[in-house]
Amino acid sequence: MATPDITRIWPSGVSLDKHTGAMNDRGETFEKLAALYGTPLYVMDVRDVADRARYFVQTVRDAFSNVTTHVSFAGKAFLSKEIARIVTEQGMYVDTCSLGEMKIALAAGVLGRRLVLHGNNKSDEEIRLAIEHDFDKIVLDEPHEADRVAAIAHELGKRARVMLRVTVGVHAGGHEYISTAHEDQKFGIALLPPDHGEIEDVQSAQFFDQVAHGPAVAAMHEILEHSEDLEFVGIHSHIGSQIHDADAFIAAAERVMVLRRAFYATDGFVAPEIDLGGGYSVAYVEGDASMDIADTMQRIAQTMKDDSARAGLPLPVISFEPGRWIVAPAGYTLYHVGTVKTVHLDGGKRRVYVSIDGGMSDNIRPALYGAAYTATLANRSSSAETVLARVVGSHCESGDIVARDVQLPADIRRGDLLAVPVTGAYGRTMASNYNQFLRPAVAAVDDNGSHVMIRRETVDDLLQLDVSE
């Protein structure tokens, strides 16, 4: 099995014709894809998605040899029926966090026992659907949720499998909005009591004692009180997204293992499963590197093995929930260039503003998180010098930027095709209809050519939603 190149920002099938300057994906030129499906266009190299999913699953299995492992694909990164089928064929489960995601995964034919439900504010409808379909896990996010899930399970005459999401206090992630394990945010239940002070040594007796008296242990006791209706599967931790630092995952694993031990000490119950969530980084621009999964998994495995051995407890089932790492580098977006405008900056500098036919409605990440992207002229070669450019969308916001600082040929002009790599995650799933733009199609590319995976929205779609007379 080939190891994905962790510095590459284009799908493995993408190449450049040196004579014409035309980019292509597995033999389909970007121009042909744009002509067939229109722009803006998300393109997903589904062969890469399958390869990356298989690689992740196998790497986790190798790192945790002799232990059961589960890897769920986080559907929030990008979900369609086709993607749900591809990742489950590679041995993954699917993590959902809304009715829409659940329905898409189920419509794809994914069995409930390969599905996970998340959410900090789940509706009764979502909980009911998950229990009816025997979801593998419902991840509880707050102490009272156990009562609600137990009541619905009781009514349905079923026993729901639940995990508890714990906030381990590790601050990691590419941006505040995608850091999820520090205390002042909405997800999970705190590991430590309020006013716990500085944590110096997570292996100390003092830390163990604080964990044993913390909100997470109390919530776990409550879950066990519902054992007629709830099967307590274990502990969940997701510390954030786009995390480059493997040490943050090790720190989270250590803390979760202390919690498992502390709960065993107070209750005699050994949590059967630990889920360490997702968050593995990818490269967005040349020079970035993405998370080396093999190395990180080896380190996490060692940490968990050492802890279990010290405590004399069996290793738990280990699970992960990568989203971005599986799909982001498998996708890119094609745009047509419209207006090209030069602005003069202080100090005699100039910048060329290149407007494209999409923008923040199909890629909100630059505006939301200041995320960096690059862009490449994809339809022709150019011998012109490069100029400092900014690729901007067509929306009524000056923050509508897709690539903030990028070098593009000075002769870039209306009608050219621009390609923006690494848009396979949190692009289509975060897309909006701002300015009543139509959400773009997603085309899939594989060794057999291309096809539409998700169709483009139409003006009729917009008008059909607007039902008042």
Ligand X SMILES: Cc1ncc(COP(=O)(O)O)c(C=O)c1O
> Which residues contribute to the annotated binding site for pyridoxal 5'-phosphate?
279, 321-324, 426
Helix intervals (H) in 113-226:
124-132, 145-156, 205-212, 215-225
Beta pairing, strands 317-320 & 273-275: parallel
| Using rule CB under 6 A, residue 4 touches ligand X | no
- Quick check: 271 and 263 in contact, CB under 8 A? yes
Amino acid at 304: M
Among 41, 49, 74, 162, binds ligand X (CB under 6 A): 74
Among 11, 188, 234, 278, binds ligand X (CB under 6 A): 278
| Using rule CB under 6 A, residue 361 touches ligand X | no
Cα–Cα distances in angstroms (integers) from residue 441 to residues 40, 444, 453, in the given order: 8, 10, 8
Candidates 48-56, 70-78, 202-210, 454-462; binding stretch for ligand X (CB under 6 A): 70-78
How many CB atoms sit inside 10 A of residue 116's CB?
Answer: 27
| Using rule CB under 6 A, residue 137 touches ligand X | no
Task: Tell me the C-alpha distance between 164 and 186, whole Å.
Answer: 14
- Quick check: 147 and 226 in contact, CB under 8 A? yes
Q: How many amino acids of this chain bind ligand X (CB under 6 A)? A: 17
Give me the least distance between CB of 332 and ligand X, in Å please.
17
| Using rule CB under 6 A, residue 76 touches ligand X | yes
Candidates 42-50, 74-82, 226-234, 427-435; binding stretch for ligand X (CB under 6 A): 74-82
Among 26, 54, 114, 118, binds ligand X (CB under 6 A): 118
Name the residue nearer to ligand X (CB basis): 278 or 409.
Answer: 278
Is 396 designated active site? Answer: yes
Among 114, 161, 238, 336, binds ligand X (CB under 6 A): 238
DSSP string computed for 137-157: EEEE-STTHHHHHHHHHHHHT
Which contiguous run of DSSP H or E holds residue 136?
none
Q: Which residues are annotated as a binding site for substrate?
A: 324, 365, 369, 397, 426
Give me the least distance between CB of 210 and ligand X, in Å please.
25
DSSP string computed for 310-372: HHT-PPPEEEE--SHHHHGGGEEEEEEEEEEEEEEPGGG-EEEEEEES--TTT--HHHHH---
Give me the least distance between CB of 157 and ligand X, in Å please.
29
| Using rule CB under 6 A, residue 241 touches ligand X | yes
Footprint of ligand X on residues 296-325 (CB under 6 A)?
A: 321-325
Among 37, 249, 263, 280, binds ligand X (CB under 6 A): 280
Footprint of ligand X on residues 403-462 (CB under 6 A)?
A: 425
**Among 396, 459, 465, 467, the one annotated catalytic:** 396
Which residue has 């790192």 as its token pair?
63
| Using rule CB under 6 A, residue 373 touches ligand X | no
Site string for ligand X, 318-357 (x = CB under 6 A): ---xxxxx--------------------------------
Using N-to-C axis directions, what is the helix angle for 205-212 and 246-267, rounded to 10°? 70
| Using rule CB under 6 A, residue 214 touches ligand X | no
Give me the least distance between CB of 55 and ligand X, in Å please.
15
DSSP string computed for 64-120: TTTS-EEEEEETTT---HHHHHHHHHTT-EEEE-SHHHHHHHHHTT--GGGEEE--S
Q: Which residues are annotated as a binding site?
A: 279, 321-324, 365, 369, 397, 426
| Using rule CB under 6 A, residue 260 touches ligand X | no
Cα–Cα distances in angstroms (integers) from residue 29 to residues 261, 288, 337, 419, 446, in the given order: 56, 26, 17, 12, 13
Q: In the structure encoding, which two tokens stand for residue 385, read together?
A: 């010098």
Given the rule CB under 6 A, which residues bind ligand X?
74, 76-77, 95, 118, 238, 241, 277-280, 321-325, 425
Q: Which of the residues are catalytic? A: 396
